[in-house]
Structure 1
Amino acid sequence: MSVRIGQGYDVHAFGEGDHVMLGGVRVPHERGVLAHSDGDVVLHALCDAMLGALALGDIGVHFPPSDPRWKGADSRTFLRHCDGLLRARGWRVGNADVTVVCERPKIGPHAPAMRALIAADLGIGVDGISVKATTSERLGFTGRGEGIAALAACLLVPDGT
């Protein structure tokens, strides 16, 4: 069977606000993120992994921050668009694995909801989506609480399998 593998990475600095969007879930936090869209690092990294697997550029190519249409946009729109691009070319996500890198907020309590939303948007079983977290042991910008990052990997399989 033919498969494709993609990986993605996204980062946003913390700024004013009272929550962060992660995997489509509003997670309470003492800070928000600085971003053109809703700044959902989970979905941005996953979109980049999906696009990268088919060499379709990155999220900035499809949703440039210079375009006012995407100001404050819900990143689930980006995810569904990327899924449509894959399916139009005969592919779908077989599974995806996302790691959030931050000291806070705590990801574990919100991971099941993130997995469910991502799986629903991609039309696959929740067992095909992993969302987990790690800290950076107080090192670097995430360790100092200056921002949040996410890494994603996905396996694409032919649609219809």
Structure 2
Amino acid sequence: MKTRVGFGFDVHRLVEGRELWLGGIRIDHTMGLLGHSDADVLIHALCDALLGAANLRDIGYHFPDTAGEYAGIDSKILLRKTVELIQGKGYTLGNADITVCAERPKLNPHIPAMQQTLADCMGIDPDDISIKATTTERLGFTGREEGISAYAVVLLEKA
């Protein structure tokens, strides 16, 4: 069996007047993330990790923010398409480990729903997706609540 590891990172600015989508679920908050799509940093980092592990470039290559068809798109659609791309190369997800950095809102209560949503979207067991939330102790752009970032590591397997 061949295994490959991929790493993904994404960041989006927090702004007023947008919904906050993380891990495929809407979270009540006073601000949302700015982006061409729904700006779900968690899913975008996961997509980049999956694509990188399969040597399929990055999310911007496959789903450019200059393409009108992706304006406002639900990132779960991008994740499903990403899974199809890696499956097309014969890979399946072994596991994913994701960290989201945000001062607010508190994300821990939402993690089980995120895991289930992502698992349903990817056709895998929720136990194969680890999601952790942390702050930056009020340091940097995240600490000043200017944005949210996410990091993802995945293991792909090929029979």
Q: Using structure 1 for the length normalisation, give the TM-score.
A: 0.96
5 Å matches for 1:43-82? 43-82=43-82
Instruction: For 1:22-101, list aligned pairs within 5 A.
Output: 22-101=22-101
Q: Hey, what does 2:16 align to over in structure 1?
A: 16
Q: Which range moves more in the overlay, 13-22 or 70-79?
A: 13-22
In structure 1, how many angstroms separate the alpha carbons of the residues matched to 2:20 and 2:92? 28
Whole-Å Cα distance in 2 between the matches of residues 151 and 28 of structure 1?
22
- Could you tell me which runs of 5 or more consecutive residues in structure 1 were left unpaired when the two chains were aligned: none
Query: How far did residue 88 of structure 1 move?
Result: 1.0
Q: Secondary structure at the match of 1:132?
A: strand
C-alpha displacement of 1:92: 1.0
Alignment match, 1:111: 111
Is 1:148 paired with 2:148? yes
2: CA distance, partners of 1:33 / 1:87 = 30
Secondary structure in 2 aligned to 1:11?
strand
User: How far off its partner does 1:120 sit?
Assistant: 1.2
Native 8 Å contact 1:17 1:33 kept in 2: no
* Kept after mapping to 1: 8 A contact 2:22/2:114: yes
Residues 102 and 142 of structure 1 are in contact (CA less than 8 Å); yes or no, is this contact kept in structure 2?
Answer: yes
Given that 1:14 and 1:31 are in contact with CA atoms closer than 8 Å, whether structure 2 keeps it comes out as: yes
Structure 2 residue 136 is the aligned partner of structure 1 residue 136? yes
Q: Secondary structure at the match of 1:3?
A: strand
Aligned length: 159
Cα root mean square deviation, aligned = 1.0
Q: Percent identity?
A: 53
Structure 2 counterpart of 1:105, one-letter code: P
Deviations 1:96-146 (A, max 9, x none): 011000100111111001000111111111110011111001100000000
Q: Which TM-score applies when normalising by structure 2?
A: 0.97
- What is the CA distance between 1:17 and its match in structure 2? 2.5
Following TM superposition, by how much is the alpha carbon of 1:73 offset from its aligned partner in structure 2, in angstroms? 0.2
Given residue 136 of structure 1, which amino acid in structure 2 is its aligned partner?
Answer: T
The answer to whether the 8 Å contact 2:14/2:33 transfers is yes
Aligned to 2:122: 122
